[in-house]
Structure 1
Amino acid sequence: MNRWLRQRVDAVYEQLLSREIAGAPTHVAVIQDGNRRYARKQGDDATEGHQAGAETTERVLEWCQEIGVEELTLYAFSTENFNRPPEEREALYDLLCEKLREFADAERVHENEVHIRALGAVDRLPERVQDVVTYAEERTCEYDQFVLNVALAYGGRSELLEAARGVATDVESGDVDPEEIDVETIERRLYDEPVRDVDLIIRTGGDERTSNFLPWHANGNEAAVFFCTPYWPEFSKPDFLRGIRTYEHRQESWRRTRARRARALLGAMSDHELVEARSIVDRFRDSLPTAEQPDEEELDATDSSGPAAD
C-alpha cells in the first residue's frame, strides 16, 4: 500500500473511531515502551529512539486534552532504568531535563492550566534532574484543569513498601491506632498530592504486562488495560482512540453485569434492599440487550411485593 493511501486509510479510521467514542476516562496511565527497539529498527542509537518517543509524548498530551481526560501519568523512568549503560542513562537524564523545562515553559501548558508533578524516588536522580523537576512543579503548582504526572525513578512495589513501613513506624510510636488504618492512611503516604484512581493503562511495544505501574490506583480500581504492538515513537492517534474504546467497552460490560445481578436478585432481597436494587436496575438497564431489559410492569411488581411482606 502506497504512503498516500495508507495516510488516507488512517485518517478515515481515526474519524470512525472518534465517532465511536462517547466519553473519556478521567485518568490514563501510559507505559511508553519500545523506544530502543524502534531506534534499532531505524538503525539509530537508543538516544534517537528516546528523542522520537518524547515527540509522541507531546502529542498524547494534546489528544488527552482534546477528548476530556483530566489526568495523565507517564512512566518515564523506572527504577530498572538505573541498570542501563551509563551513557544511555546520561542521555535520558539530559532528555528529561530538556523536556520538563520545555513543558514548564510551554505556552499551551499555561493556557490549558496543566499541573506538572513527579511521582517516584526523585531524590535518586542526578541533581540537575531534581532541579528541573522542582522548576516544573513550581511553575505549574497553581493549575488544576489538567494533571500531568511524570513517573521518575518509579517502582510500584517499592512505593507500597515504603508506605507500609511508614504506617508500621507510626503504629509502633503510637501515632496511629491500628484500628483506624484505612485507604486514606495509605494514600497519604504514597504521594504529597492526591492521585486519581487509574481508569485505563496503555502499554506500547507488544509486551502484555503492566510492570507494577501504579498498583494501588490501577489494580484497586480494576483499570482497563490496552496493549498494542507499535513502539512508542510509532504510537498514533488511532492507537490512542482504540485504547479509549477499550475503556468504554470495559465500562459497558461493568454496567451490564451490575444490571443483570441486580435484576436476578430482586426477588430474593429483603424489603430494605429492594429499593437499592430497583435503583440499580433503573440506572443500568439500558446496558442490557433489549430482550433482557425488564419492563415497567415487572419493576412495579417488585415494588408492590415489598409492602405486602411487611
Structure 2
Amino acid sequence: MRQWLFRQLERGYERLLAREVSGAPTHVAVIQDGNRRYARERGDGAHDGHRAGAQTTERVLEWCQEIGVEELTLYAFSTENFDRPAEEREALFDLLCEKLREFADAERVHANEVCIRAIGDLDRLPPRVRDAIDYAEDRTDGYDRFVLNIALAYGGRAQLLEAARSVAHDVESGDLEAEAIDVETVQERLYAQPVRDVDLIIRTGGDERTSNFLPWHANGNEAAVFFCAPFWPEFSKRDFLRGIRTYESREASWRRTRARRALALLRAVSEPELAEARSILGRFRDSLPTAEQPEADALRKPAVEASETGDGDSSQVAD
C-alpha cells in the first residue's frame, strides 16, 4: 500500500512539473555521470552500470522529443576515460558499437528523422567504434528534425586548442587575415557540422562541475546548469523536467536583466545607444514586473528625433 501511494505521488508530481513547463530549450547537453557507482552499490560490474545507463539514454531522447528540444548532446566518453582499465574500456567500446548500430536501425529514429553525429577526437577510438559511427551517421544523414550528438574521445579544451591551431596555421600561410578572425571563424573549425549554442547542461551523479564539456557553446551562451544527485541509470522524467524548469527560470531572469539594462540606457544615454536600447526593451518589455514596465510611448522616437533623422513619421517605433 505504501509503495502504491508513493508511486501515485510521484506520478502526480511529474504531471505537475509537466504542466509548469511552458517552453523547451533548443539544445540540451547531458553529462551522464554515476554509471559505475550505480553498479558498485548493487554489487555489479562497471559494464552492468553502463548498460543500465544506456537504457536511460533512450528514455531521455524520447523526453526531449516530447517537449520540443531540437538537439541533444551526450557526454559518452571523455579523453580522461582512456585512463580507465583496459577491460572496462573495451566493454564500453563494445556497448557503444552495439547502441550506435541499434539506434541507427531503430524505426523511431527514422520516423522522427533523428540525425546521429559523433563529436570529439574520433581518430583515437578503436576501428570498430569508428565503423559504428560511420554506419550511424550514414544511416541518418540528411535528417534535420532532431540532432543527437554523441561526444566520444571528447575534451573541450582539446577541441578549442585544435581550432586555434587551425586558425593560426591559416594566418601563417596567408590564407586568412588576422583582422578577419571572428566568432564564426573559430566556431566553424570546432566540429565538422554546426552545433547549436547550448541552453541547458544537465549533470547527474551529485558532482557540481561541467567537466570541460562544450565550453564554447555552453559558457559562451551562458547556459543554465542543472546538477542532480541520482546516478545516470536512476535519472527519471521528474529529474529531467526539473532541469527544464531550471532553464526556464534562468531564461526569465536573463530576459529581465536585459530589459532592465535597456531601460537604464533609455534614461541615461543618447543616440546611437538609444536605438539599441529601444529595440531590446521592445522585445523584452513583458519580462519586467508590471510596476517596472515603461509606457509604450517610451519606446517611440520623439518627433524631434524623427525630423532630424528624416524618418518623417514621429510615431514610428524603433526596430
TM category (shorter chain) comes to over 0.9
Q: Deviations over 1:218-267 (max 9, x none)?
A: 11111111111110000000100111111111110011011111112212
How do 1:124-143 residues align onto structure 2 when only pairs under 5 Å count?
124-143=124-143
Q: Deviations over 1:99-155 (max 9, x none)?
A: 101000000000000000100111111111111000000000111111000000101
Within 1, Cα distance between the matches of 2:263 and 2:167?
42
CA contact under 8 A between 1:259 and 1:284: conserved in structure 2? yes
How do 1:1-310 residues align onto structure 2 when only pairs under 5 Å count?
2-296=2-296, 299=299, 303=302, 306=305
Shift of 1:44: 1.0
The verdict on how the C-alpha distance between 1:308 and 1:270 changes in structure 2, with shifts beyond 3 A counting, is farther
Equivalent position of 2:315 in the other structure: none
Within 2, Cα distance between the matches of 1:138 and 1:54?
22
The verdict on how the C-alpha distance between 1:282 and 1:168 changes in structure 2, with shifts beyond 3 A counting, is closer
More displaced 10-residue stretch of structure 1: 274-283 or 255-264: 274-283
**Secondary structure of 1:196 counterpart:** coil
Paired residue total: 309
The verdict on how the C-alpha distance between 1:171 and 1:12 changes in structure 2, with shifts beyond 3 A counting, is same
Give the TM-score of the pair, scaled to structure 1. Answer: 0.95
The verdict on how the C-alpha distance between 1:279 and 1:196 changes in structure 2, with shifts beyond 3 A counting, is same
Within 2, Cα distance between the matches of 1:271 and 1:200?
36
CA contact under 8 A between 1:274 and 1:306: conserved in structure 2? no
Within 2, Cα distance between the matches of 1:307 and 1:176?
42
Within 1, Cα distance between the matches of 2:247 and 2:231?
21
Specify every segment of 5 or more residues in structure 1 that has no aligned partner in the other structure, as ranges: none
**Secondary structure of 1:220 counterpart:** coil
Shift of 1:273: 3.5
CA contact under 8 A between 2:265 and 2:273: conserved in structure 1? no
Task: Provide the identity percentage.
Answer: 74
CA contact under 8 A between 2:26 and 2:70: conserved in structure 1? yes
1:161 is aligned with what amino acid?
L
Within 2, Cα distance between the matches of 1:299 and 1:137?
49
Q: Deviations over 1:273-308 (max 9, x none)?
A: 3343233223212211122122345556x7357469
RMSD, matched Cα: 1.8
Q: Deviations over 1:160-202 (max 9, x none)?
A: 1111111112222222211111112212221111111111100
Within 1, Cα distance between the matches of 2:74 and 2:114?
14
**Shift >3 Å, 4+ stretches:** 296-300, 302-310
Shift of 1:19: 0.9
More displaced 10-residue stretch of structure 1: 185-194 or 197-206: 185-194
**Secondary structure of 1:217 counterpart:** helix
**Secondary structure of 1:152 counterpart:** strand
CA contact under 8 A between 1:119 and 1:149: conserved in structure 2? yes
